[in-house]
Chains A and B, each alone.
Chain A
Amino acid sequence: MNLTDETKNGVLVLSPQGRIDTRTSSEFEQAVMAHAIGPEGATQVVMNFGGLDYINSTGMRVLLILAKRLAGVKGKLVLCEMKEHILEVFKISGFNQILTITDTEADALQRF
């Protein structure tokens, strides 16, 4: 798992690559929270899943924590570019009802 970050139009774009499983989810959590939470943290966040091959429920837990925290500070999380098998799991979990998911990163950036 690797996480890159850049800022586009004042929105923090985080792009995890590789696999987020039980072993790597704490690393993912620390990296995400370091960027997006805290006094200097961003409140407007796009997560680009284009390079993500795999995520299990421990990784999805991190997204739920992030979304709740951002909602608490009037921020927002938008997910985009999800592969089919990942989108399927997000739909089964009802995450598509509580998180904003778009096809492309450009669409995601339009949501702010």
Chain B
Amino acid sequence: MAPRRGPAGKSKAPAFSCKLDKDLGELSEMLVALEEFAEKHGVSPLQTQRITLSVDELVTNIIKYGTRALEHAHIHLWATISDGTFHIEIEDHGIPFDPFHEAPVPDTTLPLEERPIGGLGVFLVQSLMTTTNYERIKDRNRITLTRSLTASDQEEAQ
């Protein structure tokens, strides 16, 4: 990993970084490594699962849709823990796409027979994370997520 500012900019904060191509096997391995990083630094199992699921849903979309036309995806992920917050940044070279404004919002109140199949991923991320942000920077998409670790751990995400 080339030297680069971390998302939180604090050199002593625990940091995790990973680069992956559009390969679901690499994504699975990265999620397990991210989970180990979080647990090693005292993040509770519930919070860890919220974080890994959110990263999984977004990177899955990048692999399946955003970088479909590219030979290599060059997806970068950075994570840091500082000030009671878990910070995540995800960058890719795919087509410009703001998942938090362009993805359709599912109706979670529809009965079984009317429920469409799929379309839950981004909605889960927005429910599980404290903040979500998207920027297009030159030829890259950058997603920034935070999850507050100080909020009551057992409190249910909304």
Contacts and interface: CB of A to CB of B under 8 A. Distances in A.
Contact of B53 (A24, A56, A98): A56
B120 interface: yes
B53 A89 contact: yes
A19 interface: yes
Classify the secondary structure of A's interface with B.
helix
Contacts of A92: 108, 123-124, 127-128, 157-158
Contacts of B137: none
A91 B156 contact: yes
A67 B112 CA distance: 8
Interface residues of A, number: 28
Contacts, number: 83
A40 interface: no
Nearest to A91: B156
B46 interface: yes
A92 B109 CA distance: 10
A63 to B, nearest CB: 10
B115 A98 contact: yes
B108 A94 contact: yes
Interface in B28-63: 28, 31, 45-46, 49-50, 52-53, 56-57, 60, 63
Contact of A56 (B50, B112, B121): B121
20 contacts: A21-B24, A21-B27, A54-B52, A54-B53, A56-B56, A56-B57, A61-B118, A64-B115, A67-B112, A68-B113, A68-B115, A84-B46, A88-B156, A89-B53, A92-B123, A92-B124, A93-B106, A93-B120, A93-B123, A98-B115
Interface of B: 24-25, 27-28, 31, 45-46, 49-50, 52-53, 56-57, 60, 63-64, 106, 108-113, 115, 117-118, 120-121, 123-124, 127-128, 156-158
